[in-house]
Amino acid sequence: MLRGKAGVIGVAAVAVLPLTAVLPAQAAQAREPDAKVVPIQVTGDPAKRFNLVIMGDGYTAVDMPKFRTHLAKHLNDLWTIEPFKSYRSYVNVYAVEIPSQESGVSCDPNLSSPRHKTPLSMAFWSGCEKDGIQRLLVMDSAAAKTYADLVPGATLGNRQILALANSDTYGGAGGTYATASGGNAMSALIAPHELGHSLGGLADEYDYYQRGVPGGTYTGKEPDAIHATLLTEQQMKAQKAKWWRWLGERSESGGIIGRYEGGLYFSKGVWRPSQHSMMKTLGYYFDQVSRERMTQRISAKVNLVQAQTPTDAPVGKDRVLWVETMHPTGHPLSTTWTVDGKPVWRGPNLDLSRLHLRKGTHQVTVTVTDPTDFVRDPAVRSSAALTQTRTWTVDTRLSTPPSDVPADFTTTTPTDQPVGAKSVVYAETTHPVTRALKVRWEIDGRHVRGGDRDIDLGRLRLSKSTHRLVARVGSKSRTWTIDAQTPTVKYELSKATQARAGRTPEYVFDGPFTMRLTGADDRPGVVVSEFRVDGDGWFNYFGWPTDSSAPWRFSENGTVIDSLTYGRLGKGRHTVEYRAIDAAGNIGKPGKFVVTLR
């Protein structure tokens, strides 16, 4: 969605626009007591998590089931998109249900459409402005903040507001807060794009400012945006600038990461990393350049080290030092201990009694690092978002007073929903002062090897079925259901001129044709279907842009909708692959067929 030339619209016009000064009566509604905070996903103490606060506007009490449906669709799509998928465990999600007196939002879809009295005063056309942008969906930021303040523990520093409008019109905005229409066929993809602006500080990669009107030639200086440049690939490498570390790699959004002209609303004179990505075309993933920034920003909303042995006083050589860390769902963190600068151990606990320290004082340091492949910039890797340290002074003359701390679990991966077959599941425990507790892991009653505090299920190559995971410490246990059954997806094509069955079916069409994808799973929950053509980037199948129940339409030149082209497929032979992702994050094995368009 548009942020505006040189940042005029977006952060400035969406987040800072003083709507409260224009509409004080609507802002006052935020103090009404009928708003309800509903926890959707709670992975930990909100004071220690990144809190995504999602609120609706223009949903009456009767419309509230619709808001919940829209919310579920948005989240199911969000959890399939990296880095949200791998860092889902960092995020608490809270819905703020705000019954509106009227159904719908203002100026939807036209300036002549009714104005509605709603708690957030959401409106298209940049807030019902005659010279506004129809798709720019703004709201009363002060009211949104007031409602977000209802979530205990969520602060300006650790939360992100996303507001959904009760609308089927395509639209949204990204500034300090993000907005998106709730019911449009592409709504669930608008939200992560807008979060790219609001959370990631990413710019639009559109090569136009107004749809259908070429953006002209960029004549400014080297852009500040991490994913826009004037440099050639050779210059990027020589200067070690912009996305030089990713050049030449297959883009997560399709094609090769290189240098593609157009971006920042200009058609010429400025270049972006990928042919298409989340910040240019909804439906594709973030490419590596944007994904690295999003990983940094999500991680910066939490502390990698959540708790530790107190560091404010020296400890004795008989002490067990410990740290509790965050636990990404896609990979474990690295925890390394040093004594006087020399590495001595890896893991969440360090039993000092086993080190046989010489008499005197010593400095013990633990370094927790996120080794994710999503980050290559050393400055990002070494920042507090991805690397944190804690230091203790050990005095061998001290003895630790006895303390009776029973073995038990403290925080764990939530047990109320299945985990995927490639998830990392964690279990933190209590901390006796002179002994380290070890978590024992079992799958289907059989002991399996895991880490001290987490287990990487992806390494176990579990059979495609349902499994029971148990963590034990002392007499206590926690149990999870592992959903290792991958989802399936079926395709349905319009009538072909010719068709040939086989391992890879082939179809011939003499003109436009349609494709419907229908995902299915053995468990409840939304299944997200995707497809790609000729090995390009995976594209979210959302039905047809104007009607999510209608199939995707392919044609030689594509179909122009609101000045954008969908379903372009040149004449000739093409391979179409398709797959599905279930609510637990399992990705089904891709199927494929071949089509020839004559």
Q: Is the pLDDT of residue 341 over 90?
A: yes
Nearest residue to 412 (alpha-carbon basis) of 388, 386, 432, 430: 430
What's the CATH superfamily of 5-198? Collagenase (Catalytic Domain) (3.40.390.10)
Q: Is the pLDDT of residue 121 over 60?
A: yes
Q: Is the pLDDT of residue 570 over 60?
A: yes
CB atoms within 10 A of CB 557: 11
Tokens of 355: 């080190």
CB atoms within 10 A of CB 273: 30
Q: Is the pLDDT of residue 11 over 60?
A: no
% residues pLDDT > 90 (the chain)? 91
Q: Is the pLDDT of residue 27 over 80?
A: no
Domain with CATH 3.40.390.10 in the chain: 5-198
User: pLDDT for 516-551, tens place per residue?
Assistant: 999 999 998 889 999 999 999 999 999 999 999 999
Q: What 8-state DSSP symbol labels residue 208?
A: B
User: pLDDT for 288-332, tens place per residue?
Assistant: 999 999 999 999 999 999 999 999 999 999 999 999 999 999 999
- Separation CA 544–CA 567 (nearest Å): 9
User: pLDDT for 483-506, tens place per residue?
Assistant: 999 999 999 999 999 999 999 999
- Separation CA 190–CA 185 (nearest Å): 10
Please name every residue paired with 414 in a beta bridge, in sequence order, or none if there are none: none
The phi, psi pair for 390, rounded to 5°, reads -135, 145
Where is pLDDT greater, at 117 or 3? 117
Q: Which residues contact 114 (CB under 8 A, 6 or more apart)?
A: 104, 106
Of the pLDDT bands very low, low, confident and very high (cuts 50, 70, 90), residue 161 is very high
Tokens of 458: 């992806």
pLDDT recorded at residue 524: 87
CATH ID of 305-395, from 4.10.240, 2.60.40, 2.40.50, 2.150.10: 2.60.40
Q: Are 427 and 473 in contact (CB under 8 A)?
A: yes
- Separation CA 310–CA 336 (nearest Å): 18
- Separation CA 20–CA 99 (nearest Å): 20
Q: Are 591 and 489 in contact (CB under 8 A)?
A: yes
Of the pLDDT bands very low, low, confident and very high (cuts 50, 70, 90), residue 33 is low
Tokens of 441: 């892991």
CB atoms within 10 A of CB 532: 18
Q: Which residues contact 271 (CB under 8 A, 6 or more apart)?
A: 228, 229, 230, 231, 259, 260, 261, 262, 263
Helices (H), 434-528: none
Q: Tell me, which fold does domain 409-483 have in CATH?
A: Immunoglobulin-like (2.60.40)
pLDDT recorded at residue 22: 28
Instruction: Collapse the DSSP code of 492 into the 3-class scheme (helix H, G, I; strand E, B; otherwise coil) and give the result.
Output: strand
Q: Is the pLDDT of residue 4 over 60?
A: no
User: pLDDT for 87-100, tens place per residue?
Assistant: 999 999 999 999 99
Q: How far is CA 17 from the centre of its chain?
A: 27
- Separation CA 494–CA 509 (nearest Å): 9
Average pLDDT of the chain to the nearest whole number: 93
Nearest residue to 441 (alpha-carbon basis) of 433, 432, 453, 450: 450
Mean pLDDT in residue range 433-459: 94
- Separation CA 210–CA 505 (nearest Å): 41
% residues pLDDT > 70 (the chain)? 94
- Separation CA 387–CA 119 (nearest Å): 41
| Rg of the chain, C-alpha, whole Å | 26
pTM for the model: 0.92
Residue carrying the six token digits 């639209």: 171
Of the pLDDT bands very low, low, confident and very high (cuts 50, 70, 90), residue 34 is confident
Domain with CATH 2.60.40 in the chain: 305-395, 409-483, 488-597
pLDDT recorded at residue 525: 84
Question: DSSP for 553-570?
Answer: EEBSS-EEETTEEE-B--
* CATH-assigned architecture of domain 488-597: Sandwich (2.60)
Q: Return the beta strands (E) in 99-214 as ranges.
A: 159-165, 172-174, 178-181
